[in-house]
Amino acid sequence: MKVKDVKVHVLKVPLPEPIQFSWEPLPHQDYTFSLIELEGENGVKGYSAIELGSTYKAFINTYVRPLLINLQIDLELIPDRFLQIGSWLIQRTGALEVAIWDLIAKSNQLPLYKMLGGKRKKVKVYASTGRLMDVKETIDLINDYYSKGIDIVKIRFRRNSIKDDLALLREIRKTFGDSIRVAVDANQAWTFTPPYWDRMTALKVAKELEQYDVEWLEEPLYREDIEGYRWLRERSNIKISGGELEYDLSRFKAFVDSKALDIVQADAVYSNGIRECRVIASLAESHNLEFLPHAWDPGMGWVANLHLSASLPESLTKYIETPLDPLWWFNDVLFAITKNKIIVEDGYAILPEDAGLGLEVSDEAIKKYEVE
Q: What would the pLDDT profile of 114-135 be if each residue is shown by its tens digit?
A: 999 999 999 999 999 999 999 9
Task: Say if CB 308 and CB 293 are below 8 A apart.
Answer: yes
Instruction: List phi, psi (to 5°) of 363.
Output: -65, -35
The predicted pLDDT at position 63 comes to 85
The predicted pLDDT at position 87 comes to 56
Q: How far apart are CA 277 and CA 117, in angstroms?
A: 15
Kindly list the domain boundaries of the chain, sorted by start residue: 3-110+363-369, 114-350
Residue 358 Rama label (left phi>0; alpha psi -120 to 50; beta): left
- Which carries the bigger pLDDT value, residue 71 or residue 218? 218
Give 188-224 pLDDT, tens digit per residue: 999 888 999 999 999 999 999 999 999 999 999 999 9
3-state secondary structure 58-77: HHHHHHHHHHHCCCECCCCC
Give 92-103 pLDDT, tens digit per residue: 889 999 999 999
Q: How confident is the model at residue 82 (pLDDT cuts 50, 70, 90)?
A: low
Q: How confident is the model at residue 178 (pLDDT cuts 50, 70, 90)?
A: very high
For 330, which DSSP code? I
Characterize the bridge pairing of strands 122-128 and 152-156.
parallel
Q: How far apart are CA 304 and CA 251, in angstroms?
A: 21
The predicted pLDDT at position 77 comes to 55
The predicted pLDDT at position 76 comes to 54
As a dihedral over the C-alpha atoms of residue 36, residue 310, residue 256, residue 154, rounded to 10 degrees, the angle is 90
What mean pLDDT value characterizes the chain?
A: 94
The predicted pLDDT at position 81 comes to 58
| Angle between helices 199-210 and 162-176 in degrees, nearest 10 | 20
According to CATH, what is the number of the domain 114-350? 3.20.20.120
Q: What is the pTM of this model?
A: 0.96
As a dihedral over the C-alpha atoms of residue 86, residue 61, residue 367, residue 323, rounded to 10 degrees, the angle is 0
Identical fold, 3-110+363-369 and 114-350: no
Instruction: List phi, psi (to 5°) of 358.
Output: 90, 10
Task: Say if CB 112 and CB 101 are below 8 A apart.
Answer: yes
Q: How confident is the model at residue 86 (pLDDT cuts 50, 70, 90)?
A: low
Q: Which CATH number fits domain 3-110+363-369: 3.30.420.40, 3.40.50.11690, 3.30.390.10, 3.40.50.1000?
A: 3.30.390.10
* Section 141-161 average pLDDT: 97
Long-range residue pairs from 191-197, CB within 8 A, at least 24 positions apart, any chain: 191/23, 191/222, 192/23, 192/25, 193/23, 193/24, 193/25, 194/160, 195/158, 195/159, 195/160, 197/221
User: Which residues are within 8 A (CB) of 343 and not within 5 positions of it... i.e. 6 or more apart?
Assistant: 349, 350
